[in-house]
C-alpha cells in the first residue's frame, strides 16, 4: 500500500522537450525495466542472477549508474529518479541507442545492452516501504539537491527520517556514499551523520574524503561544479 499522504516533491519532474528517440525509449523501453509500486525489491526483480543489490538515489543523467552497472554485471542496480529527461538519458546509455530525430517505433536493443538495472521513476521516499530490512549492499546519493536556504532545509534528502530508512534497508556493513560540492550541504551532512546512531564514517586519514574513491565515475553535476571551481567531497558511511 502507498502512504495515504505521499510526501511533497519540490524538484523538477520535466525539463526541455524530450526529443523523438528519447521519448520512444520512455514509452516503449522504460516499462520493461520499471519497478512498479507494488513490487518488493528482491534479487528476483532482475532477469539475471545477481549477488548483491546497489541503489542510486537521484541518478540525474545516469552516467554513474550506467557505468557502475556495466562494470559489475553480477550486481543488480536500482535507480530512483523523478526527472524524466534524466531517465530518458539513462535509457540511451543502457540500450546503446543513438539519439536520432527520426527514431520512432522500432527500438532495437544492441547486444551489449546493460541488463542489470531496474528503475523507479518516482520519489525515492515512495520506494522505501518496498525494500526489505537488510537487503541492500550499497547506496549512492550523489550531489543531492542542496536546498541551501535555511527555510528549505526540511527539503534536504539527508535528514534523520531518511537516514533511518537508508540504514534499515542496508545490510550490516553496507555502505552509504554521499557526494556533494556544496559547502552548506557538506556541513549539514557531516552533522546529520554524526548525530545518527546507525552509521560510522569510514574516512581514515585527514584528506581521503576530498579525493575521488577508486571506483568513482564522474557525474554531470560534478563536472559542472568543477567547471565552476567547486571541488566535491566523497563521504562513505558504513552501517554499524
Ligand atoms: C543535483 S541533481 C544530481 C544528479 C546526479 N546524481 C549527478 O550527480 O549528476 C539531484 C537529482 O536528484 C533527483 N531527486 C531529488 N530528490 C529525489 C527523490 N526524492 N527521489 C528521486 N530522485 C530525487 C533530482 O530529480 C535530481 O535529478
Give the residue whose CA is nearest to atom 15 of ligand 1: 58
Are residues 184 and 153 in contact, defined by beta-carbon separation less than 8 angstroms?
no
Q: Is residue 174 part of a domain?
A: yes
Domain residue limits at 65? 20-239
Q: Is residue 14 part of a domain?
A: no
Is 60 domain-assigned? Answer: yes
C-alpha cell at 158: 539527508
Q: For ligand 1, what atom is nearest to the CA of residue 141? A: 6
Task: Reply yes or no on whether 145 is catalytic.
Answer: yes
Q: For ligand 1, say whether the CB of 155 is within 6 Å of any of its atoms.
A: no
User: Which residue in the block uniquely carries the three cell numbers 540504514?
Assistant: 167
pLDDT value at 156 more than 80: yes
**8 within some domain:** no
What's the structural domain count of the chain? Answer: 1
1 falls within a domain: no
Q: What is the pLDDT of residues 173-222, one digit of tens each?
A: 999 999 999 999 999 999 999 999 999 999 987 788 999 999 999 999 99
Q: 60 C-alpha to center of ligand 1: Å? A: 5
Q: Is 10 among the domain residues?
A: no
Query: What atom of ligand 1 comes closest to residue 142's alpha carbon?
Result: 6
pTM of the predicted protein model: 0.93
CATH assignment of the domain containing 63: 3.40.50.150
For the record, the C-alpha cell of 222 comes out as 560534478
Amino acid at each position: 500500500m502507498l502512504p495515504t499522504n505521499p510526501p511533497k516533491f519540490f524538484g523538477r519532474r520535466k525539463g526541455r522537450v524530450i526529443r523523438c528517440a528519447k521519448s520512444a525509449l520512455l514509452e516503449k523501453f522504460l516499462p520493461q525495466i520499471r519497478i512498479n509500486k507494488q513490487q518488493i525489491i528482491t534479487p528476483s526483480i532482475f532477469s539475471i542472477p545477481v549477488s548483491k543489490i546497489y541503489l542510486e538515489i537521484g541518478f540525474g543523467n545516469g552516467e554513474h549508474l550506467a557505468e557502475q552497472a556495466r562494470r559489475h554485471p553480477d550486481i543488480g542496480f536500482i535507480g530512483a529518479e523523478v526527472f524524466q529527461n534524466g531517465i530518458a538519458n539513462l535509457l540511451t546509455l543502457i540500450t546503446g541507442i543513438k539519439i536520432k530525430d527520426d527514431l520512432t517505433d522500432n527500438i532495437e536493443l544492441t547486444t551489449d545492452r546493460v541488463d542489470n538495472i531496474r528503475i523507479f521513476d518516482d520519489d525515492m521516499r515512495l520506494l522505501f516501504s518496498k525494500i526489505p530490512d537488510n537487503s541492500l549492499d550499497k547506496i549512492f546519493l550523489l550531489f543531492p539537491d542542496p536546498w541551501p536556504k535555511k527555510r528549505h532545509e526540511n527539503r534536504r534528502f539527508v535528514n534523520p527520517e531518511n537516514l533511518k530508512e537508508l540504514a534499515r534497508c542496508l545490510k550490516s556493513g553496507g555502505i552509504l556514499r554521499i557526494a556533494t560540492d556544496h559547502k552548506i550541504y557538506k556541513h549539514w551532512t557531516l552533522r546529520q551523520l554524526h548525530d545518527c546512531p546507525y552509521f560510522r564514517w569510514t574516512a581514515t586519514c585527514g584528506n581521503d574524503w576530498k579525493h575521488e574513491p577508486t571506483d568513482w565515475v564522474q557525474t554531470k553535476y560534478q563536472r559542472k561544479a568543477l567547471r565552476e571551481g567547486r571541488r566535491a567531497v566523497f563521504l562513505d558511511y558504513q552501517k554499524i
